[in-house]
Amino acid sequence: MNKKTLIAAIGFAISSLSAMAQTQPIAIAIHGGAGTIEKSRFTPEQEKAYRAKLKEAVEVGYKVLESGGESLDAVTAAINILEDSPFFNAGKGAVYTYDGSHELDASIMDGRNRQAGAVAGVKTVKNPIDLARSVMENSVHVMLSGAGAEQFAKQQGFDFVDNSYFDTKHRYEALIKAKKKLDAANKTSKDYQAAHQALESEYKMGTVGAVALDKNGNLAAGTSTGGMTAKRFGRVGDSPVIGAGTFADNRSCAVSATGHGEYFIRYSVASDICARVEYQGKSIEQAGKEVIHDVLMPIGGTGGVIIVDTKGNISMPFNTKGMYRASKSSSQETQVGIFKND
């Protein structure tokens, strides 16, 4: 090969790589929880505020991807916005436990290598998703809980807040209503399990999460929550459980879930969806629909998921009246939804 031919070949290779970089899709989807979300419960001002916060979160995450950032960074950035908002059951807007405090859970997963980090039952860490990521990157473990997780956070130089930082009026009112219902049920039965099952689903769900695909083709997923209203005994839901509330693998897809956590744990919802994509060759739309509507719905499992695959496709199925959600990709402008018909 002569010099001119070699130069031409190098130029062609560079232009081809540049074209590939330009055509590599990027995508992000977020959720702020699913449940009994009806338009009649919102004033026009409230609905506008919720939509604006969802739009802000997805666009903050997308800017990370657009500037060449990693999917993990996009997921973390988007979830931070939602954790810092009193609108959602995570961080500042977390629900109350039965005893009147807050216990927070979160997890994150890297699709490149299935590395993952999670925390459960933390009480004084402002942004649990950041601590989950630190567990993934700076510890030899996957999940840390309670006082041990907070000890690790202190070692890692995290800032702490008082548990009262997470207080919000509307979550406290929800706790009072839930406890009244539990107390009324306990008068006819001393069975705590039966009494708790009698609570409406709105008390049992609420989460935030994000999934993303970056320009290098890497997927990531993250989920953060305050858990279940009036939860007791150190209850932990699906959000910090890898394979249940969070899953990401570059061979299939990335998933973040929201719903009644006990069902999502027992049916390994997030990993089941990705397994159907990887091993059965199904689209994320088909796999998500099967798990959310055909597997969970018949046995009383309410909720939804957000999914993104390696091609930048996005799917956000849910079997409830609504799900706070938003998405954006290199082939799709920002979309924001709350109700089923959005």
* Residues known to be catalytic: 207
In 31-83, which ranges are continuous DSSP H helix?
A: 44-66, 71-83
Beta strands (DSSP E) in 214-331 are 219-225, 246-248, 253-259, 303-309, 314-315, 322-329
Distance (Å, whole) CA 61 – CA 222: 12
The helix or strand, by DSSP H or E, that contains position 33, with its residue range, turns out to be strand 27-35
Q: What are the CA-CA distances from residue 310 to residues 60, 145, 262, 315 (Å)? A: 21, 32, 29, 13
Alpha carbon of 285 to those of 74, 234, 242, 244, 317: distances in Å? 22, 35, 21, 18, 8
* Helix, strand or coil, per DSSP, at residue 32: strand
Taken in order 108, 109, 110, 111, the sign of the CA dihedral is: negative
Phi, psi of 198 (to 5 degrees): -75, -15
Q: How far is CA 185 from CA 172, 190, 205, 272, in A?
A: 20, 8, 20, 35
Report the number of secondary-structure helices (H) and strands (E) in the chain: 10, 12
Where is 15: in which H helix or E strand? Answer: helix 3-23
